[in-house]
Chains A and B, each alone.
Chain A
Amino acid sequence: MTLKYIITQLVTLAIVGGIMGLVAWVKIPRATPPLDEAEVKRRLAEDFPQTPLDQIWLALDGRGAVARSGDLALLLFRLGDSYVSRSMAWSQALQAEAIKGRFCFKFNDFAAPKASLALAPNWAKAAMGETI
Chain B
Amino acid sequence: MAAPTVPAIDPVTLAVPFFILAIVLEILLARFGKVKAVYEAKDTATSLLMGFGSGIAGLLTGGVVFAASVWVYNYRLFDIPMSAAWAWLAIFLLEDLTYYWFHRLSHERRFWWAAHVNHHTSQHYNLATALRQTWTGGAAGTWALWLPLSLLGFPPAMIAIQKGISLVFQFWIHTEAVRRLPVWVEALFNTPSHHRVHHARNPRYLDSNYAGILIIWDRMFGTFVPELDEEPCRYGVVKNLGDFNIFRVAFHEWVGIFSDLLTAKSLREALGYLFGAPGWSPDGSRQTSTMLKAQWAEMQTAEPVKTDPAAAS
Residues of A within 8 A of B (CB): 9, 12-13, 15-16, 19-20, 22-24, 26, 28-30, 46, 49-50, 77, 79-82, 84-86, 107, 109-115
Contacts of A113 in B (CB 8 A): 242-243
Residues of B contacting A28 with CB < 8 Å? 27, 30-31, 37-39
Q: Complex formed: what's the CA distance from A76 to B241 in Å?
A: 12
Q: Which residues of chain A are within 8 angstroms of B71 by Cβ–Cβ distance?
A: none
14 new A-B contacts, CB < 8 A, other than A20-B45, A80-B41, A82-B40, are: A19-B48, A19-B128, A23-B27, A23-B39, A23-B40, A24-B41, A26-B30, A29-B39, A79-B241, A80-B42, A80-B244, A112-B239, A113-B242, A114-B242
State whether A23 touches B20 (Cβ < 8 A).
no
What would be 16 A-B contacts, judged by CB atoms less than 8 Å apart? A12-B52, A19-B20, A19-B27, A19-B128, A20-B48, A22-B27, A23-B40, A23-B45, A29-B38, A46-B234, A79-B123, A79-B242, A107-B242, A109-B242, A111-B256, A112-B241
**B39 contact from A26, A46, A85, A107, Cβ within 8 A:** A26
Whether B43 is near chain A, meaning CB under 8 Å from some CB there, is: yes
Knowing A20-B44, A49-B296, A111-B256, say if A13 contacts B52 (CB, 8 Å).
Answer: yes
> Which of A30, A84, A110 is the one whose CB lies under 8 Å from B40?
A30
Chain A residues with CB under 8 Å of B124's CB are: 82
Q: Is B282 an interface residue (CB 8 A)?
A: no
Given A23-B44, A28-B39, residue A49 in contact with residue B295 (CB < 8 A): yes
Report the minimal beta-carbon distance from A38 to chain B, rounded to whole angstroms: 17
Judging by beta carbons under 8 Å apart, are A16 and B240 in contact?
Answer: no
A86 touches B128 (CB 8 A): no
Chain B residues whose C-beta falls within 8 Å of the C-beta of A80 in the assembled complex: 40-43, 123, 244
Interface string of B42-86 (1 = CB under 8 A from A): 111100110110011000000000000000000000000000000
Q: Does B87 contact A (CB under 8 A)?
A: no
- CA of A66 to CA of B49, assembled, Å: 32
Q: Return the chain A residue nearest B245 by Cβ.
A: A113
In whole angstroms, how far apart are the Cα atoms of A24 and B45 in the complex? 10
CA gap between A109 and B28 in the complex, in Å? 37
**By the criterion CB–CB under 8 Å, are B243 and A112 in contact?**
yes
Query: Could you tell me which B residues sit within 8 Å of A by CB distance?
Result: 20, 23-24, 27-28, 30-31, 37-45, 48-49, 51-52, 55-56, 123-124, 128, 234, 236, 239-244, 248, 252-253, 255-256, 259, 295-296, 299
Contact yes or no, B38 A30, CB < 8 A: yes
Nearest chain B CB to A2 CB, angstrom units: 12
Chain A nearest CB, measured from B27 CB (Å): 6
Across the A-B interface, the 5 shortest Cβ-Cβ residue pairs: A112-B242, A82-B123, A26-B31, A29-B40, A111-B252
Residues of B within 8 A of A26 (CB): 27-28, 30-31, 39
CA distance A24 to B27 in the complex (A): 11
Complex CA distance for A6 and B238, rounded to whole angstroms: 38
Using A19-B20, A28-B31 as known contacts, say yes or no to A84 and B240 having CB atoms under 8 A apart. Answer: yes
> How far apart sit A110 and B253, CA to CA, in the bound complex (Å)?
9
- How far does the alpha carbon of A80 sit from the alpha carbon of B48 in the complex, in Å? 16
- The CA of A16 and the CA of B44, in the complex, are separated in Å by 9
Residue among B24, B49, B243 with most chain A CB within 10 A: B243
- Bound form: Cα–Cα A74–B116 in Å: 28
Decide: B242 and A84 in contact? CB cutoff 8 A: yes
| Chain B min CB distance to A110 (Å) | 4
Chain A residues, CB < 8 A from B253: 111
Chain B: minimal CB distance from A104 (Å): 12
Query: Which chain B positions have C-beta within 8 A of A46?
Result: 234
